[in-house]
Structure 1
Amino acid sequence: MESNEPWVVRFVVQLAGEYVLEILEAIGRGLPGLASPDSGQRRLYGEFIARNPAFFARTERRMVSYSSCYYRWKYGTFGNYPGSVLLEAFRAAASEQVGARWPRHTPPSADDADGGSA
């Protein structure tokens, strides 16, 4: 995950759609640049998502499905699920690249529960 090679991004994003919570946590720790606007890491992931919107949408839907199946008992709503934070960071990175809000294919995050940006 620490690699800045563009070919790595696809595999990391794909892993984000898996059901293993420890993978999501490792990705979150391994991509600290996602939280920094204009970082090289954020740009790299934003560019990939902007070029591959269907792939990212499928990853989002997989994450929602897995979180509902395996973790609903623990987190209640998708907005409380740790993967939700990761997807928000990916969406923010893509939004920076395209200059517009990136579409959401998940339930609203805890911050958006009032209907603000679905």
Structure 2
Amino acid sequence: MSTKEEPQYSFNGLHHTQLAIPPGAEDQIRAFYGGILGMVELEKPPVLAARGGCWFRGGALELHFGVEKEFVAARKAHPGLLISGIDALAKHLTESGVDVNWDDTFPGHRRFYAFDPLGNRLEFLEPEPTD
């Protein structure tokens, strides 16, 4: 039996998730994440702003969008976004022309998938109430 030493570090949460976008797609991202989802755009530090892309915050969650010349949408890899009011969000997305695909295979959560205008996959989850 081996003895494992306790690490001298700990994980304290997720600062942000980054998704790729093609050059010049910032306005599409702003329309979806800022307009439809209602997230707040953050000012990027000047040295990073020169690279293009944009950053958004909703609650404690940050999504960063970085420009990638050889862009390929994340069709399988995705951020899993914990939310409150999943039915209201699904309705809002549907009314905004965004397809919502429900999936009931994640125990303890209600969830659906949607794609942003560039084809990046997003997972929205809400814990089921416990009695």
- TM-score normalised by length of structure 1: 0.25
Specify which structure has the higher proportion of helix.
1
Higher RCO (CA 8 Å, separation ≥ 6 residues): 1
Specify which structure has the higher proportion of strand.
2
- TM-score normalised by length of structure 2: 0.23
